Homo-oligomer: A and B are copies of this chain.
Amino acid sequence: MTIDPNNPTPLFRQIGDYVRKAVASGRYRPGEAIPSLRTMALELHVNPNTVKRAYEDLERSGLIQGKAGVGMFVTLAGAREAKAEVEGMVYDCFMEGLRIAQGSGIDGGRARELFERAWAEDARRVG
C-alpha cells in the first residue's frame, strides 16, 4: 500500500504522486485512461472526492486530461515529463537527507555510510 493515512502529507498529494510514479514507470501509458475516480477510490480505500482532488491537480499539471462522462487520459507531454519529475522527487529525498546530516554535525563519510546501508536494505527488500 503506497497510500498511508497517517503520513502527514495529504492523501490527495500521495495519490497524485502515486499516479505520477505509475506513469513514469509505464504502468499507465499515454493515450490510455487511468482508473476512474470511483475505481481508484475503492482500490486505495479512500473517498472519491479525495481522488478527484488528486486528479484535478494532475490535470492542472498537465499529466492527465479529463473528458466528462468518459475518463481521465494520460497526455503525451505529461508522460514525457513524468520521468523527470519522479527523478526530481528522488533527488529531493536524497538532498533532504544530506541537508539534515549537514545541519546535525553528521559528517559526509557517515552520511555516505547511511546511504549504502539504505541501498543494501533496498536491494534486500526487492531481491
Residues of A within 8 A of B (CB): 2, 5, 8-10, 13, 21, 24-26, 67-68, 83, 86-87, 89-106, 108, 110-112, 114-115, 117-119, 121-123, 126
For residue A108, which residues in chain B have a CB less than 8 angstroms away from its CB?
119, 123
Pair B93/A100 contact, Cβ less than 8 Å? yes
Residue contacts A-B, CB under 8 angstroms, 18 given? A8-B9, A8-B10, A24-B104, A25-B103, A25-B105, A26-B105, A87-B114, A89-B97, A90-B101, A93-B96, A94-B114, A94-B118, A95-B118, A98-B122, A99-B122, A102-B122, A108-B123, A112-B119
Q: Which residues of chain B are within 8 angstroms of A89 by Cβ–Cβ distance? A: 97, 100
Q: A87-B106, A92-B97 are in contact. List 14 more A-B contacts (CB 8 A).
A: A8-B9, A25-B104, A26-B105, A86-B104, A87-B114, A90-B104, A90-B106, A94-B94, A94-B118, A95-B118, A98-B118, A98-B119, A108-B123, A112-B119
| A104 near B5: Cβ-Cβ < 8 Å | no
Minimum CB–CB distance for A14 against chain B, Å: 10
Find A21's partner among B10, B13, B95, B100 (CB 8 Å cutoff).
B100
